[in-house]
């Protein structure tokens, strides 16, 4: 894509050809011109849950308090582990009906 722009094709033509925005073509062309390569940044990082270190404690707490509500679990995490979480409930996908997010 960057080479096509460098070869004299217009940014608009290259963007249409690759199905990307004009700004993206411009950024890739500048990157290619400055570094000689177009290479993506590493993405991701740790994909582990921030609750993972607390998993055993949460399971133990839930085993002792079978009727514990999510709000009570939230309070328990704050009180016992100084962990501030907020509950986000999504109803579109049953497999991901509850997410616990951090402040």
Tell me the DSSP string of 33-46: HHHS---PPP----
Instruction: Look over the chain and give the mean of its residue pLDDT values, rounded to a whole number.
Output: 80
Q: Percentages helix, strand, coil for the chain, rounded to the nearest 5?
A: 55, 10, 35
Which token pair is 36?
């000689």
Kind and range of the H or E run holding 58: helix 55-64
| Per-residue pLDDT tens digits for 19-61 | 889 898 888 888 888 888 877 666 666 667 778 889 899 999 9
Q: What is the pLDDT of residue 75?
A: 93
Q: Whole-model pTM? A: 0.44
């Amino acid at each position: 894509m960057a080479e096509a722009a460098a070869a004299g094709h217009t940014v608009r033509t290259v963007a249409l050809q690759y199905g990307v925005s004009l700004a993206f073509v411009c950024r890739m062309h500048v990157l290619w011109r400055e570094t000689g390569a177009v290479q993506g940044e590493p993405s991701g990082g740790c994909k582990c849950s921030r609750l993972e270190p607390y998993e055993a404690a949460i399971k133990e707490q839930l085993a002792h308090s079978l009727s514990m509500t999510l709000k009570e679990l939230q309070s328990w995490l704050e009180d016992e582990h100084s962990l501030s979480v907020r509950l986000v409930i999504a109803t579109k996908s049953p497999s991901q009906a509850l997410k616990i997010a951090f402040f």
